[in-house]
Structure 1
Amino acid sequence: MTNDGTPQWGPPNGEQPYGQQPQYGQPPQWGQQQFGAAPQYGQPYAQVPQPIPVGPDGTPPLWAPWYGVGFFDAFIRFFKKYARFDGRASRSEYWYWFLANAIVTIVLYGGFIAVLLSWSAGHSSTDEYGYTRTEGTPPYWAFALLILFGVWCIGTIVPNLALSWRRMHDANLPGPLWLVSFIASPAAIVFGCLPANPAGAQYDRPDLG
């Protein structure tokens, strides 16, 4: 209040008047971060994905995932990383192998069934009592297809599991989680569709080449 009795209006509790700049050297208010200062304790940093290195031929090393790989390269890479459970595998690596495996299964096992049915139709007869009999011996190459299919299935057990393990790593999930798909088979489709997570780089082993 002034000497003439009129009240004096002013900023409460030492606040700066509107439009007035703070004095030089005045510390910032609580919670205000100074320019160039480091983030407060516990404040997360933005995660920047690291680029995938490539070799002289333009392909990434075996320890790294190959995003956008083609069909034939994915097929060859599957066997090159036969029993490697470290590292990551992209969705294209996973699904192109899934397609290749389906094609081989149709050719080998489907071929065996087709040959067997064709031979059976040509060597079956019905007697006067209505009984159907099949005479002769099935062609040996039909069983050769079946044997090849069995060898293929056994030979791809380990690399199939390793690829699935690496697909989980690419989504930054532990590889053993894939075993859930043996109980609930639709989980294999869900896991195969998971997007890549840059944090999955923790599973990479560049030292193994």
Structure 2
Amino acid sequence: MNWYLDAFKNKYADFSGRARRTEYWTFILFHVLIIFLLAFLSGALSELQLGSIGAILLVIYVLASFIPALAITVRRLHDTGKSGWFYLLTLIPYIGSFILLIFTVQDSEPMQNKWGPNPKGPNTDEINEIGKPVEF
């Protein structure tokens, strides 16, 4: 939840730097959950003839979250060594979004790239540490 709130508080329109997979996917998880909840609320309120209130809340949220979602996606592309302009691939029907999904799932570039140092830092990949003996 902290990654989600951080995208709104500290990095609202920050298109520079890099974003780890954890930061990106945590934001996307909460973003999609909130959209689903607001859509459900809109549908439930439409039964009470108040559907326009729910729809207005959904539109306000989508408009308010558009820039943070775009910014975190651009930072995620930077982390994989791609330019933020690759986001425009989503304009290609069907395949563009699939290609963007593949780019966002890829691991970070291990070293510093032109958008900054690796946000994981050296030797902080938890998956690679599984099974290794713990030193006391």
Would you call these one fold, judging by a TM-score over 0.5? yes
Per-residue CA distance 1:132-180 (angstroms, 9 max, x = gap):
xxxxxx13xx322211110111111111111111001101111111211
Instruction: Tell me if the contact between 1:171 and 1:194 (Cα under 8 Å) persists in the aligned partners.
Output: yes
Q: How many residues align?
A: 113
Instruction: Tell me if the contact between 1:172 and 1:200 (Cα under 8 Å) persists in the aligned partners.
Output: no
Percent identity of paired positions between Structure 1 and Structure 2: 27
If the length of structure 1 is used for normalisation, what is the TM-score? 0.50
Q: Which has the higher contact order (CA 8 A, sep 6+)?
A: 2
Question: Partner residue of 2:7?
Answer: 78
Could you say which structure has the higher helix fraction?
Answer: 2
If the length of structure 2 is used for normalisation, what is the TM-score? 0.75
Q: Distance in 2 between matches of 1:185 and 1:73?
A: 26
The residue matched to 1:198 in structure 2 has which SS? coil
Q: Distance in 2 between matches of 1:191 and 1:200?
A: 18
Structure 1 gap segments, 5+ residues each: 1-71, 120-137
Question: For residues 33-182 of structure 1, what are the structure 2 equivalents within 5 Å?
Answer: 72-79=1-8, 80-116=10-46, 118-119=47-48, 138-139=49-50, 142-182=51-91
Q: Distance in 1 between matches of 2:100 and 2:56?
A: 27
State the 4+ residue runs in structure 1 displaced beyond 6 angstroms: none
Q: Distance in 2 between matches of 1:204 and 1:81?
A: 16
Q: Distance in 1 between matches of 2:57 and 2:75?
A: 27
Structure 2 gap segments, 5+ residues each: 118-136
RMSD: 1.7
Q: CA deviation at 1:88?
A: 0.2
Instruction: Tell me if the contact between 1:169 and 1:200 (Cα under 8 Å) persists in the aligned partners.
Output: no
Q: Distance in 2 between matches of 1:86 and 1:200?
A: 14
